[in-house]
Structure 1
């Protein structure tokens, strides 16, 4: 997979929002044979010990409800590195106010490449609403990629 067809989704812990975005994106582009692939990472400096298991149960349940078998359900969260930015054509952080400062601090040299969405974490927005927002935003992103690829 070349840089030109990879999307990097970022959230704080790579456990809930970014993992859902990655799985939904990969499912949809696979179904539509678009030739893009997503991966996801955490922008926090270290992973949270509060996260139980490799991926959020809210993420797994929402994927199951949509009939999607997650390809990365057994993968543990991964911290973002500069190399991850180098491997992505597009970089999307799930919450502007939360992630912009982290990205500016940890990845100042590539921070300008990040697009920001506005999806709150679980303590500020219920999972059904948050993951529904991600569904919608991933759909818009895929539509823009289809236009761009023509």
Structure 2
């Protein structure tokens, strides 16, 4: 797949929100037969030692409840690099107020490429609500991609 068909989802630790968005997006675009895929990364300076395992149990449980076996369930969180921006046509950060300062500091030259959503992290919003919001936003994103010419 070419780089023009990739979406990069960003969150602080690449453990919960961005990983869920990546898996939901990839599941739905496969069902729709769209020529897109997603990957995800962390925008923090370093990964959190508080995150146990490769992906949040809340994300895994929500995916399993939808009958989705996550492709990246065994992959550890990964820090974002400038190369990740080059590999994506679209870049989405999950929380404007939280991620914009990190992105502008770490990736100033490409910060203007980022679309920001408004999905709070786990300490500010319960997982069912947050993940439901991601479901809705991913659905809107896929709808906008379906209207594009390949």
TM-score tier by shorter-chain length is: over 0.9
Instruction: Note if 1:89 corresponds to 2:97.
Output: no
Give runs of aligned pairs for residues 1-150 of structure 1, distance below 5 A.
1-149=1-149
Q: What secondary structure, in the 3-state scheme, does the structure 1 residue paired with 2:147 have?
A: helix
Distance 2:148 2:125 in 1: 32
How much does 1:26 deviate?
Answer: 0.1
Distance 1:148 1:81 in 2: 27
User: TM-score w.r.t. structure 1 length?
Assistant: 0.99
How much does 1:149 deviate?
Answer: 2.5
Distance 2:149 2:24 in 1: 20
How much does 1:148 deviate?
Answer: 1.4
Distance 1:130 1:149 in 2: 31
Distance 1:52 1:97 in 2: 25
User: TM-score w.r.t. structure 2 length?
Assistant: 0.99
Distance 1:132 1:119 in 2: 10
Q: How many residues align?
A: 150
Show structure 1 runs of 4+ deviating over 6 A.
Answer: none
Consecutive unaligned residues of structure 1, counting only runs of 5 or more, are: none
Query: Pairwise CA RMSD of aligned residues?
Result: 0.6
How much does 1:58 deviate?
Answer: 0.1
